[in-house]
Structure 1
Amino acid sequence: MNISSLKTKLLYFLLAGLIPATALSQEIDPTLEILIQKALEKNHGLNVNQLEGEQARVDQKQAKAVFLPEITLNGSYTRLNDDITFDEDTQNLLMSTQKLLIKEAAGLPFNADFPENIPLQPASNLQDKNFLKSSVDLDWVLFSGFEATNALKAAKHKEASLNFVGEAEKDKIVLNLMETYDKLALVNASQEVLAASEDHLKDQERFVKKAIENGLATPISRKKIELAQQQLEAKQLEFRQNKRLLIEVLHQITGENREILRSLSPQLNAISFTGNSAEKRAEIQALEEAEKAATYKSKMEKSNFIPKLALKGHYEFLEDDLSLLDPQWYVGVGIKWNVFDGGKSKLKSRKSQLEAQKYQEKIKEAEEMISLSIVKAEMSYEAALQNTRIAQKEIELAEATFEMLKKQHRNDLASISDVLDGLRDLESANFKLQESYFDQSKAAVTLMHAKGILNY
């Protein structure tokens, strides 16, 4: 990435980080959208799944290729130890027959001597000892007994199953990334809470310092504030470390540059889930397609007993070196019928049927688990909504209490310890509110995933 594009992207991220996270039923945070796409592109499991899908597509092409003619060019040179000829008696018979034919053609009697001045043609060799052959063969399957057809259907359903497996894996990646992204938003929100606590402590420190100068407070009050400041610094360190760890996790998931990730400013807001009816989960669809693939595989293996029909052709380019018994060309149609193979095909088919039954049981189990997960997700979401409302009320109470304690302390009606306790309560209430936003967001996304409507 060049410097110019890096700056442009960084500016985009900074602007996008100002947009609060919203419910998935609304427009998603552009920054998160980009990170999701990067995570999906980088994930090794998804890449492996895509390669397996490509293999299934190759299987389909192989099944279709069964019906394409196979053309083979052949060439060979052979040297025998000797020419292949007729035996001596057959050669004598052929020579005698040749003499009779010549005498008959010359009009000589059957008993007349054969003229010595007429040459005789020796019997041709059945095969010369040196011969060169060049030919072409054609093999063309006309009917595969439905074996190739069923193999094609099995491969198609296998590809569909792998695609749904990939969709299910995408959902898991998105869930993990969104949770990590929200955790980063929670850390940022927590740091803002700590910054507000730091401002309150500085305000109290200035007040106590003046009170000590005027003899209205003791140095113990200042030490209590100093202790509270040290405790605050420890919390800030913890959140800085958490943010660093989350940046590393996001870098590992998405492969995005760490500097860009550190510049992000995701925010937590209470989000609401728009009630949508449940849809069939990708996991169920993957199992259904796998069951269909196993069923067609069983049919393919049964097809081994159906007769197969094929066309066979052969043509010799060189006639001179052919034996007396070799044809120059031939074309034929043949049938192959596997009547008994020792029960192998039947056993293979039964094994595939059992595989299909296994998938049926897995589908039932998955449907039961998904139904239960929807109920649990709905309960978690309802609880998250209630916790958010409680946290908002607790903040109202903590803010009012803290302001009252500050006024009482200034009028010497409350101790500095009471004020610090009130500040801790306010800080805790703010933490609880941000955590409730995080839990509500997580519950809403989990519910959408359980209902099968988290689509990417």
Structure 2
Amino acid sequence: MKMRLLKTKLLCVLLTGLIPAIGFSQEIDPVLDMLIQKALEKNHGLNINRLEGEQARIDQKQAKAVFLPEITLNGSYTRLNDDITFDEDTQKLLMSTQKLLIKEAAGLPFNAAFPENVPLQPANNLQNKNILKSSVDLDWVLFSGFEATNARKAGKHKKASLNYAGEAQKDKLVLNLIETYNKLALVNASQEVLAASENQLRDQERFVKKAIENGLATPISRKKIELAQQQLEGKQLEFKQNKRLLIEVLHQITGENREVLRSLSPQLSAISSTGSAAEKRAEIHALEEAEKAASFKSKMEKSNFIPKLALKGHYEFLEDDLSLLDPQWYVGVGIKWNVFDGGKSVLKSKKAQLEAQKYQEQIKEAEEMISLSIVKAQMSYEAALQNTRIANKEIELAKATFEMLKKQHRNDLASISEVLDGLRDLESANFKLQESYFAQNKAATTLMHAKGILNY
């Protein structure tokens, strides 16, 4: 019941969750496609790459945010030990001036006595000792000397480089998963070969048993068959262990349930087409974008010497506690020009230029290595095709030879050893055919990866 539910779950995933990718994925079976999707979701390296790409995107936004105004609300309370006032001489001067102004307004002569019934206003404090302030500040960069612009472009290309690096990681992960999946298919095919050999041995065992009963064979013949059966069981045990290990590897890569993986029955099938024209690999794209990012970083460092323009504004919400010298608001435009910084910006710019040159050399090296890998992969694929043709011919010969030896043995014209040798030759030829399919599949996927057309 449990296995039935697992298979139903797997079928539902295949029917509802799969969207075939372009190119290579159209040629693979849906189960492998599902495993690849799960592996891409689970892989820690790809998840880390996505997070780094998100960091680069945020850096790009931060560079762009330089041109957005910054608005800050401020509030504070301060108590001084005493009010700040004018000195005594200044206060006397202000009082005398006030008397003169009052006499002038009243039409009294300059030398006339000041009327005693007229009150005088004492001079205001420069600053009261209790200070409560609430204000807003505005800082707005109007021109950054292209520093922020170049930083934004550098972040943009860095993000693109990380994306392409992630695509290169995906290709390697897909290659590894396909090879592991095909190894599982090879184990299954090998077990089928061993099952066929087991049936042949049972047939020979029945014949030898009757021959011994009729005095036409000796017990030695039965011993030889029993030895062959033991050797066959050893091979079966080896393939079972290999299958168990491959299931664990697939579980680790994809996170899929082991029971589901054990229920899979992958089949080896040769890929008939590997595409024609090669495309630019993701590795090259990643290096090109990294080179552009380094170039813009160099320009950003050079921009440090270009004048920068900013606007500054301030407004006080509370007027009562302002000093006599404090304005309620002000707006200003300022310029900042870094004329000399000890050569730091020049050195940083030069370092970024060298980084860009390093990426240029890496691009050339990668292009040469990719070109060579395409040639090697093409040769391997052609050799695998030829080995498959040879293996098919070997099977035809081994099969005909085995059938002939069986007939001769039944007519007492060949020994049981010769029959068992013929069976081993047939078994070996079948193994070679399955291994040639595996090699052909691996060579084809490697060639497509080298050409940059293993798209996922």
Q: TM-score, normalised by structure 2?
A: 0.96
Which residue of structure 1 lines up, in the alignment, with residue 319 of structure 2? Answer: 319
2:14 and 2:43 map into 1 onto residues whose CA distance is 25
Contact 2:25 2:455 in 1 (8 A): no
Which residue of structure 2 lines up, in the alignment, with residue 236 of structure 1? Answer: 236
1:400 and 1:4 map into 2 onto residues whose CA distance is 42
Q: Letter of the aligned partner of 2:384 in structure 1?
A: A
Instruction: Out of 115-124 and 6-15, give the one that drifted further.
Output: 6-15
Q: What is the DSSP-based 3-state SS (H/G/I as helix, E as strand, rest coil) of the residue aligned with 2:279?
A: coil
Contact 1:307 1:335 in 2 (8 A): yes
The question of 1:54 aligning with 2:43 is answered: no
Contact 1:395 1:430 in 2 (8 A): yes
CA deviation map 1:213-260 (0-9, x unaligned): 000000000000000000000000000000000000000000000000
Query: How far did residue 139 of structure 1 move?
Result: 0.7
1:93-172 to 2 correspondence within 5 Å? 93-172=93-172
Instruction: Out of 114-123 and 161-170, give the one that drifted further.
Output: 114-123
Contact 1:68 1:140 in 2 (8 A): yes
The question of 1:221 aligning with 2:203 is answered: no
Cα 1:378/1:283, change in 2 over 3 Å: same
Q: What is the DSSP-based 3-state SS (H/G/I as helix, E as strand, rest coil) of the residue aligned with 1:220?
A: helix
Contact 1:59 1:152 in 2 (8 A): yes
1:172 and 1:226 map into 2 onto residues whose CA distance is 46
Which residue of structure 2 lines up, in the alignment, with residue 439 of structure 1? Answer: 439
1:277 and 1:108 map into 2 onto residues whose CA distance is 108
Which residue of structure 2 lines up, in the alignment, with residue 426 of structure 1? Answer: 426
Instruction: Out of 339-348 and 214-223, give the one that drifted further.
Output: 339-348
Contact 1:38 1:254 in 2 (8 A): yes
Contact 2:69 2:139 in 1 (8 A): yes
Which residue of structure 2 lines up, in the alignment, with residue 254 of structure 1? Answer: 254
Contact 1:161 1:289 in 2 (8 A): yes
Which residue of structure 2 lines up, in the alignment, with residue 43 of structure 1? Answer: 43
1:223-302 to 2 correspondence within 5 Å? 223-302=223-302
2:399 and 2:143 map into 1 onto residues whose CA distance is 83
Q: What is the DSSP-based 3-state SS (H/G/I as helix, E as strand, rest coil) of the residue aligned with 1:66?
A: helix
Percent identity at matched positions?
88
CA deviation map 1:9-46 (0-9, x unaligned): 2456999xxxxxxx937532000000000000000000
Contact 1:25 1:274 in 2 (8 A): no
Gaps of 5+ in 1: 16-22
1:389 and 1:93 map into 2 onto residues whose CA distance is 118
2:233 and 2:14 map into 1 onto residues whose CA distance is 27
Q: Letter of the aligned partner of 2:246 in structure 1?
A: L
1:260-409 to 2 correspondence within 5 Å? 260-409=260-409
CA deviation map 1:105-128 (0-9, x unaligned): 222221222222222111111111
Gaps of 5+ in 2: 16-22
Contact 1:13 1:264 in 2 (8 A): no
2:14 and 2:395 map into 1 onto residues whose CA distance is 30
2:57 and 2:363 map into 1 onto residues whose CA distance is 25
Which residue of structure 2 lines up, in the alignment, with residue 68 of structure 1? Answer: 68
2:14 and 2:229 map into 1 onto residues whose CA distance is 31
Cα 1:58/1:393, change in 2 over 3 Å: same
Query: How far did residue 303 of structure 1 move?
Result: 0.7
Instruction: Out of 220-229 and 118-127, give the one that drifted further.
Output: 118-127
Contact 1:13 1:260 in 2 (8 A): no
Q: What is the DSSP-based 3-state SS (H/G/I as helix, E as strand, rest coil) of the residue aligned with 1:78?
A: strand
Contact 1:25 1:273 in 2 (8 A): no
Query: How far did residue 374 of structure 1 move?
Result: 0.5
2:25 and 2:312 map into 1 onto residues whose CA distance is 63
Instruction: Out of 96-105 and 365-374, give the one that drifted further.
Output: 96-105
Contact 2:14 2:30 in 1 (8 A): no
Contact 2:298 2:348 in 1 (8 A): yes
2:349 and 2:4 map into 1 onto residues whose CA distance is 61
Q: Letter of the aligned partner of 2:377 in structure 1?
A: A
Contact 2:25 2:33 in 1 (8 A): no
The question of 1:186 aligning with 2:186 is answered: yes
Q: What is the DSSP-based 3-state SS (H/G/I as helix, E as strand, rest coil) of the residue aligned with 2:64?
A: helix
What is the root-mean-square deviation of aligned Cα atoms in Å? 1.6
2:125 and 2:450 map into 1 onto residues whose CA distance is 84
Which residue of structure 2 lines up, in the alignment, with residue 18 of structure 1? Answer: none
Aligned length: 448
Query: How far did residue 4 of structure 1 move?
Result: 8.7
Contact 2:274 2:448 in 1 (8 A): no
2:275 and 2:136 map into 1 onto residues whose CA distance is 68
Q: What is the DSSP-based 3-state SS (H/G/I as helix, E as strand, rest coil) of the residue aligned with 1:24?
A: helix
Query: How far did residue 271 of structure 1 move?
Result: 2.4
Contact 1:155 1:293 in 2 (8 A): yes
Contact 2:275 2:453 in 1 (8 A): no
Query: How far did residue 400 of structure 1 move?
Result: 0.7
Cα 1:258/1:445, change in 2 over 3 Å: same
Q: What is the DSSP-based 3-state SS (H/G/I as helix, E as strand, rest coil) of the residue aligned with 1:136?
A: strand
Cα 1:8/1:99, change in 2 over 3 Å: same
Which residue of structure 2 lines up, in the alignment, with residue 411 of structure 1? Answer: 411
Query: How far did residue 54 of structure 1 move?
Result: 0.6
Query: How far did residue 6 of structure 1 move?
Result: 3.5
2:295 and 2:152 map into 1 onto residues whose CA distance is 12
1:314 and 1:149 map into 2 onto residues whose CA distance is 27
1:356 and 1:27 map into 2 onto residues whose CA distance is 39
1:208 and 1:4 map into 2 onto residues whose CA distance is 43
1:55 and 1:249 map into 2 onto residues whose CA distance is 32
Q: What is the DSSP-based 3-state SS (H/G/I as helix, E as strand, rest coil) of the residue aligned with 1:116?
A: coil
Q: What is the DSSP-based 3-state SS (H/G/I as helix, E as strand, rest coil) of the residue aligned with 1:311?
A: strand
Which residue of structure 2 lines up, in the alignment, with residue 19 of structure 1? Answer: none
Contact 1:14 1:265 in 2 (8 A): no
Q: Letter of the aligned partner of 2:262 in structure 1?
A: R
1:334 and 1:24 map into 2 onto residues whose CA distance is 60
Which residue of structure 1 lines up, in the alignment, with residue 20 of structure 2? Answer: none
1:205 and 1:151 map into 2 onto residues whose CA distance is 80
Runs of 4+ in 1 over 3 A off after TM superposition: 2-7, 10-15, 23-27
